Amino acid sequence: MGTHKSLGPAKPLVNTKATAQDDQVMATNNSSIVSKRSVERLYYPDEPHFFRYFVNKFQRRAPLINRGYHLRLHVIDVTLRNFLRQPSPKRKVVVNLGCGRWVAHGIYLPAIVFLFSHLAHTGILDDVIPWQCWTRYPEDCHRSQALFVDVDFPDLIKRKRQVVLKTPALVSPLSGLKAVDNSEGCSHVFLRSDRYFQVGCDLRRTAALEQALASVLDIEQCIFLFVAEVSITYMETDYADTLIQWASTISQSEFCLLEQILPDGPDHPFARTMTDHFEKLSTPIKSVKTYPTIQHQHSRFKSRGWSNIELQSLWSAWSDGHFLSPEDRRKLDQVEAFDEWEEFALFASHYLLLHARNYGEETAAFSEEPPAHLVQRTEARTTHKQLTGQHGLRRFGAAMVINDTFGRQSIMNILGLGSTTRLPSYDIYKPEGSSWDIDVRPEGPSSRMCYTLTDVGHGTLMIGGRMSPSRAMIDCWLFRKDSRQWEKTWDLPVPLYRHSACRLAGSLAALIIGGKSNATDVSDAVLVYHPDRGWLKCSVQGPAQPSPVFGALLVCSEREQQDSPTFVGFLIGGMSDDGVIQTQLLAWRLVLRDDQVPTITFSPTEVAGNETARVLSRVGAACVQDHNRVVILGGVGHHGVVPKEDEILVCTLNNAKIQVSGRVTIPTTGENTKIPRPLIVGSSVAYLHTGQIVILGGGATCFSMGTFWNKGAYTLTFDQTKSVGSERVPPPAPRCWEFSRSGEIVPRTPEPAHAIGEQEQVAEIKPIRRVNLSSDESFGDIVRKGLPVIVEGLDLGACGNKWTMGYLTEHIGEDRKVVVHESNVQSMDFNTKNFRYTSMSFKTFSERVESGARVYLRALSAGAPADRPAKLDQDFPALASDFVLPRELGICADNMHSSVLRLSGPVNMWLHYDVQANVYCQISGSKRMLLFPPSDVTRLAFAPGASSSSIDVFKSLDSLALAGTHLWEANLGPGEVLFLPPLWLHTAAPSSKISIAVNVFFRNLASGYAAGRDVYGNRDLAAYEKGRQEIARIDSAFGKVPKDVRQFYMLRLADELAQKSRGES
């Protein structure tokens, strides 16, 4: 057999400091093999599975991970297939280059202990290319006498050899099999067979690798394909380059490389998340630092002996018919519901697929398509306000501008996706330093994402959306600007999400085009929302029929002055049902006639060059419009990642023509602080009457490498100047917008129309009856009646005279640590946690209360706050003798659950209910309490399973927010006791600077309480907790029937429950 000159010198293995980093690289390999196994099982159910033998336990990966690994595996497979099928008299050899364990100084060390103690439980990095090729392309393998060689470091190869030898399905295709003990022949060959070899070798030592290859085949009589799938990037780049150059000198060779690139630089949020991820694992990807772009990789291979080079991003390969046909792409959605398109595009555009040959016609010099720098770039005057904690982390929601009574603007960012699930809430943003608040009634649409909000004049229209990709939503809601509350409006004809919507200029109507109705189908409908007639389906006419798309941009540029309302506008981009972004750019003309079907005509749009359509065509972008100017922000485009210089485009609309008139970037530095680069994907965008644009939320799951969030509000003002005399004066610096608070949106089914009219009046307040008690029997009567009363004339002990903040500090102890509710606003909200739990000394708390701070103490058990209820006599023994439960309240003492010390400054307690009966004993100061009977629970925005509501009752007293409720009021002074029956909804506000009270909870039911811990006395009854579990089972049982059938039967069940609750059956 012939030999060939090697470029790689063999070096001694001397360093002993890198084992930990080696192990980390192998740990990333484990994650990869588990993901490949997930793809194998889901996407290839009808062929033998081979990854299974290298993974102890199947783990189903998220759809984004599955789709990404499927694409990685598929492009490699197509490259292999084409290599095996191409005509050649030479024998085909596929050399799979494993990553090895490459450390900071390029030194390799064995780690046998790690392999057998750690990898035995988690799986090892192995590719099963030979077995897949023998299964998928048996004739091609036979005809080309294909031989496969796995190359990896020796200890991992030994482990793979062990798995192969003990697995019949892996051994059976291997004729002439022989496990080598390395005492004979080449010491690097660990397993031999007629058509498969395993080589354990340090890839830096190309001479040793070549020797191993020469020991098993005649190099000059073979044609080679070297495969490196995200492997040699872990090597020091010099050694990886040496390996690439050596491979080009081996006979007739091809090289398939798949690894990371940085198409928009290292500061792009996805790129930064990706590189940081590997850095944190102590396994940096090294090649990308020297070869960050496709052009760099082309030069890398060109200068190392490869004459014929084809390369593209994985995103380009996804839409390339060479790898996947449109039907192939559609079929993937039938395997697994998928809607992470922006994140998939970001991932795929950060990976390169390169196929190089050292033979054949030399390819021309590489040239990328020039960027569409159609106009000069300008920087937007930008301010950025950092978020704190987890506030404001929201993706794929939408924002709207709301005004208070005096026209002051706030921004409400609504629903969407949080860090783990869809959010049933909203965030309020206000100009920095603003002191006002704005009330929003909490009842409204249920949690969803990928819906649209459209300003239609008197209100903002919410259309559709989705839960999961296969569960689109049909309901629509109108947020009325005058009352700032949601009301249900016309349902869509079909469920939709990721549709495109715009207001028809100067009207109360809206237009929507496209969208998805489920995981696989893209709607071709064009619909007009008419506030009086509902949804009207348009007749589509004209020479240019639009491709059905979702996630496109839709704008209405003007209203023509004609007898019949006529509107014109543009449809831009979007994604078709085969997962490819369309470059369509169409003008439309919509004519509405009374009592007739609306007609819409599409025609090609005049643009300046083909690149204009490419740069404008996106999916998931946001846009805002001001008359004939449209600003397009973010999303992903034809090339995947939208370059920074094209991320924000200003377009001018003129009849049937659209022109890019400006390119705007966010500067990396502000006037006083660094502005982080945002990822404008899944972001909400609001346009203010001042001309400012505010970007809220957004971010992306960066494949398996972490999630990037935009942690702040970006306020953009475009550089415009105005004349003052003869001078041009720049605009003032934009005022920064900041997060103010969050609130819950509680889903509700609207009342029937006749009932709403009956309830449109402000709730009347009923004073709570005051009584004096003669015995504990009379209090027992009160408890049995179940109505709240205020008890006067009781002797609560010396506390009434003694307890001041100074006295409490002295007897509790200055240094005693307490956990306090600390709020920046008057009304605390448990659901949105608009307060902080802060640990401080009691002295500090006392001083803050006396200074008027919004702090509140609800004492917890001193010994076991998470496990035991609070008891005043045990938690504060120095105060125990001061407070006495009088004999008239003997029932409380006999059945006591807890006794809680409550101290507060000027801050309101949220609306909630307690499952246990309790008496609230006002010791010092005064407090106003507002109560509702249990029957009002359905009218006060309590979410299923929640014991707290976000309604601010005190702010809603003069509004219709409490219409239909039954409001009771208690004003408590020192020494007065309020009896609160179980489940009575209540909220409280101090009417003095400081309030001191003791709250005693007791059990008045003989049975029915939930088993286990109940620290706060508000755990729902066992029957309710069990009932909610049954509801979940019922919901699941109806999960596969049509929505109308599901609704029919579930409403019947709900009515049956309602009848039973009234004792009617």
Task: Say if residue 671's pLDDT is above 70.
Answer: no
Return d(Cα 856, Cα 982) in angstroms, integer.
Answer: 23
Map residue 346 onto helix, strand or coil: helix
pLDDT tens for 533-586 read 899 999 999 888 899 999 999 999 988 877 789 999 999 999 999 999 999 999
| 928-985 confidence digits (pLDDT tens) | 999 999 989 988 888 888 889 988 899 888 777 788 899 999 999 999 999 999 999 9
What is the pLDDT at residue 375? 72
C-alpha distances (whole Å) from 109 to each of 96, 105, 126, 994 are: 21, 12, 19, 69
Tokens, residue 72: 């990685």
Give the per-residue pLDDT at 4: 39
DSSP 791-811: EES----THHHH--HHHHHHH
* pLDDT for residue 335: 93
Are 19-357 and 761-1005 the same fold in CATH? Answer: no
Are the C-beta atoms of 1004 and 917 separated by less than 8 Å? Answer: yes
Q: How confident is the model at residue 606 (pLDDT cuts 50, 70, 90)?
A: confident
More confident position, 797 or 606? 797
CATH class of this structure's domain 19-357 = alpha beta
pLDDT confidence of 431, banded at 50, 70, 90?
very high
Q: How far from 129 is each of 133, 229, 378, 834, CA to CA, in Å?
A: 6, 12, 50, 55
Digit-coded pLDDT (tens) for 97-121:
984 433 333 333 333 333 333 333 3
**pLDDT tens digit sequence for 346-390:** 999 999 999 999 998 888 776 665 555 557 777 788 888 988 888
Report the first-to-last Cα separation within the chain, whole angstroms: 93
If one counts every other C-beta atom within 10 angstroms of the C-beta of residue 405, the result is 10
pLDDT of amino acid 125? 46
Residue 927, pLDDT above cutoff 50: yes
Left, alpha or beta for 457 (phi > 0: left; psi -120 to 50: alpha)? left
**Which residue ranges make up each domain of the chain?**
19-357, 761-1005, 1026-1061
Give pLDDT, residue 777: 64
Unique residue bearing structure tokens 């400081």 = 994
The mean pLDDT of 288-316, rounded to a whole number, is 96
DSSP assignments along 70-111, one per residue: HHHHHHHHHHHHHHHHS--SSEEEEEEE------TTS-----
What is the pTM (predicted TM-score) of this model?
Answer: 0.76
pLDDT score for 958 = 76
pLDDT tens sequence across 726-772 = 454 555 566 789 999 998 888 865 443 333 344 456 678 999 999 98
Tell me the mean pLDDT in the region 8-35. 50
pLDDT of residue 13: 38
The region of weakest confidence among 170-179, 434-443, 732-741, 1007-1016 is 1007-1016
Under DSSP, the state recorded for 157 is H
d(CA 909, CA 948): 10
Strands 967-972 and 765-767, by their bridges, are parallel
Instruction: Report the C-alpha gap between 709 and 392 in whole angstroms.
Output: 10
pLDDT at 589: 94
CA atoms within 13 A on the CB side of 814: 2
340 versus 604: the higher-pLDDT residue is 340
Summarize the confidence of residues 1051-1063 as an average pLDDT. Answer: 80
pLDDT given for residue 9 in this prediction: 36
> Which is it for the CA torsion 304, 309, 315, 318, positive or negative?
negative
Q: What is the pLDDT of residue 126?
A: 56
Percent of the chain clearing pLDDT 90 (strictly above)? 62
pLDDT band at 5 (very low <50, low <70, confident <90, very high): very low
Sign (positive/negative) of CA torsion 276, 281, 287, 289?
Answer: positive
The predicted pLDDT at position 127 comes to 81
Which 3-state string (H, E, C) describes 486-501?
A: EEECCCCCCCEECCEE
Q: Which of these ranges, 54-63, 775-784, 912-921, has the smallest mean pLDDT?
A: 775-784
* One-letter amino acid of 589: R
d(CA 1006, CA 1021) in angstroms, rounded, equals 12
Stretch 637-660: mean pLDDT, rounded?
Answer: 89
Please tell me the total number of residues recorded for the chain in this structure: 1065
Per-residue pLDDT tens for 495-547? Answer: 999 999 999 998 999 999 999 999 999 999 999 999 988 999 999 998 888 99
Q: Of the CATH numbers 2.60.120.650, 2.40.50.100, 3.10.50.40, 3.40.50.9100, which one belongs to the domain with range 761-1005?
A: 2.60.120.650
Which helix (H) or strand (E) segment holds residue 43: the answer is: helix 19-43
- Please give the pLDDT value at position 961: 75
Q: Which residues contact 958 (CB under 8 A, 6 or more apart)?
A: 762
Burial class (CB in 10 A: 0-12, 13-18, 19+), 52: middle
Is the distance from CB of 605 to CB of 612 less than 8 angstroms? no
Rounded Cα distance between 55 and 39, Å, is 13
